[in-house]
Amino acid sequence: MAPQWLLADGEPVADALVFSHPEQIDRLRAACPQALPAAVLGGDPCFDRILAARQYRERYRRALGVHPGQQLVLLNSTWNPASLFGDDGADDVLPLLLPRLATELPVDEYRVAAVLHPNIGAGHGPGQLRLWLDGARRAGLTAVDPLAGWRQALIAADLVIGDFGSVSYYAAALGTPVLLGAADLSGLGPTSPVAEFVRTAPRLDPYTALLPQLEALLAGHRPLPGPAAMTTADPGRSGGLLRELFYRLIGIPEPPGPALLDPLPLPPYEAAPVTAPLHVVAAVEGPDSVRVVRHAGAGAGQDLAGSGHLAVHEDTLDPAMLDLADFVWRHGDPADPRLGPPAEWAAEVLERRTGCSLAAYVTGPHTCLVVHRSGLRAELTGSSRADPALYASAFFALLDAARGAPPPGAFTVRTGEAAHRVASRLLGPALAADQVEVAEVHGGVLPGEQDRGLLGQP
């Protein structure tokens, strides 16, 4: 609003200065009255496109790989040394935040995505940006296209962690809970609605446990009234207002028919599989029910009640973790000739990783093949959208609790508030209790079975 930005030789620099709300024109009148004749109310086409696309929220969530029962946490940062992804010394929050989000949030209850202003990538280069985000992406974070996909991610989000940029304000205008990890006011007009929002929005404390902060915000959230009211005075009307302005400036009649904005496109599917090691805690609640909590990396999940195991993706960055794994898994097409049939891949894993008890090949969005070192093989099929590797961890826990007896033909996996029903179809022999004891003595394989290729049989 400063005169040096709006005037040239005492006259407005533009034929029209477009504002979305009369409040902005009031501030213009106070700050630079000479520019007032050029002020026009034109609505907010960006926000109008978001409002029109809210009906497709579930599609956008599925595109980002959000499963039933998961909360989508969206990180966003503007470009500024004091922003969430800034480099302003002690206030540089995001490098501290990224690894802790991975380790502290259960992967089956929270999904994390990030929208970073395109100038961040332009300034530092795409390679540097990939390097900064690499660890978080291996733990499941999706980096959203900052030009084509940020609005859809904003619609899909359950909670936004951001800063003083416009994306955080749009989130608040949609009624989405927002935690500010950076709240610099120096670049904002002190009487602006955005400054008022930054002063009053809840703050993220990056130095205390993150999960309780997110849970408290989600449980007690009440939308702030300011952003929804002050983003635009003419919701849904920007296309018509702007077209009328443009044709008036050109000096020709408007064409007939409504002025329409391009709809937001459906983003590509970005499941972002977790390849970081998973610390799994499973509490068996009955012969056909188990509660599972999985955390990427070390730490948070280990204090929970239940038995634990380490699940490691075959494409993990650190191959040494495969030698420590109780359970090795991977995604793949069951007809992929590079890996061989899933049962053969599992046999190879169990032969190579002598400390591993279970191998699981995720063959599709709902299914996986599991092979236990005892010789038990099963196909698991979920009835809802969830990570099939979760089903394999639950199968492993039920098998362990029953001392090798196969789980029932169907069982329930609970994660947070969600319950996933899983069908289990046996494909190979189940051992009697005395055979299980013999197998344990012989490293999990009955004498002679490995030579006969039992684990690799279809």
**The pLDDT of residue 186:** 87
Whether the Cβ atoms of residue 382 and residue 108 lie closer than 8 Å to each other: no
* Dihedral sign (CA 426, 432, 433, 436): negative
pLDDT of 203-247, one tens digit each?
999 889 999 999 999 999 999 889 999 999 999 999 999 999 999
**The pLDDT of residue 457:** 35
**The pLDDT of residue 316:** 95
Strand-by-strand arrangement of the 159-162 sheet: 142-143, 110-116, 71-77, 159-162, 178-180
**The pLDDT of residue 189:** 87
SS (H, E, C) the chain: CCHHHHEECCEECCCCEEECCHHHHHHHHHHCHHHHHHEEECCCHHHHHHHHHHHHHHHHHHHCCCCCCCEEEEEEECCCCCCCCCCCHHHCCHHHHHHHHHHHCCCCCEEEEEEECHHHHHHHCHHHHHHHHHHHHHCCCEECCCCCCHHHHHHHCCEEEECCCHHHHHHHHCCCCEEECCCCCCCCCCCCHHHHHHHHCCECCCCCCHHHHHHHHHHHCCCCHHHHHHCCCCCCCHHHHHHHHHHHHHCCCCCCCCCCCCCCCCCCCCCCCCCCCEEEEEEEEECCEEEEEEEECCCHHHHCCCEEEEEEECCCCCCHHHHHCCEEEEECCCCCCCCCCHHHHHHHHHHHCCCCCEEEEECCCCEEEEEECCCCEEEEEECCCCCHHHHHHHHHHHHHHCCCCCCCCEEEEEECCEEEEEEEEECCCCCCHHHHHHHHHCCCCCCCCCCCCHHHCC
Whether the Cβ atoms of residue 203 and residue 182 lie closer than 8 Å to each other: no
Q: Measured between alpha carbons, how far is 421 from 282 in angstroms, rounded to an integer?
A: 16
What φ, ψ does residue 421 adopt, rounded to 5°?
Answer: -90, 135
pLDDT of 321-353, one tens digit each?
999 999 999 999 999 999 989 999 999 999 999
* Dihedral sign (CA 233, 239, 242, 245): negative
**The pLDDT of residue 102:** 82
pTM: 0.89
Residue 89: Cβ within 10 Å count: 8
Taking CA atoms, 290 is separated from 87, 228, 260, 277, 278, in Å, by 44, 42, 51, 21, 17
> What's the token pair of residue 181?
């990890």
Whether the Cβ atoms of residue 346 and residue 356 lie closer than 8 Å to each other: no
**The pLDDT of residue 125:** 87
Whether the Cβ atoms of residue 162 and residue 203 lie closer than 8 Å to each other: no
What φ, ψ does residue 116 adopt, rounded to 5°?
Answer: -110, 135
**The pLDDT of residue 305:** 58
Cβ-proximal residues to 408 (8 Å cutoff; 6+ apart), any chain: 287, 288, 424
> What's the token pair of residue 342?
């899933």
Q: Measured between alpha carbons, how far is 181 from 256 in angstroms, rounded to an integer?
A: 47
Q: Measured between alpha carbons, how far is 41 from 245 in angstroms, rounded to an integer?
A: 9
- Among candidates 368, 367, 322, 371, which has minimal Cα distance to 343? 371
pLDDT tens for the chain, 458 residues: list them. 889 999 999 999 999 999 999 999 999 999 999 999 999 999 999 999 999 999 999 999 999 999 988 999 999 998 888 888 876 654 567 778 888 888 899 999 999 999 999 988 888 888 888 888 899 999 999 999 999 999 999 999 999 999 999 999 999 999 999 999 988 888 888 999 999 999 999 999 988 999 999 999 999 999 988 999 999 999 999 999 999 999 999 999 999 999 999 999 999 998 778 999 999 999 999 999 999 999 997 544 445 556 799 999 999 999 999 999 999 999 999 999 999 899 999 999 999 999 999 999 999 999 999 999 999 999 999 988 899 999 999 999 999 999 888 888 999 999 999 999 999 999 976 443 344 444 444 444 444 444 333 333 33
Q: Measured between alpha carbons, how far is 211 from 86 in angstroms, rounded to an integer?
A: 23
pLDDT of 152-193, one tens digit each?
999 999 999 999 999 999 999 999 999 999 888 888 889 999
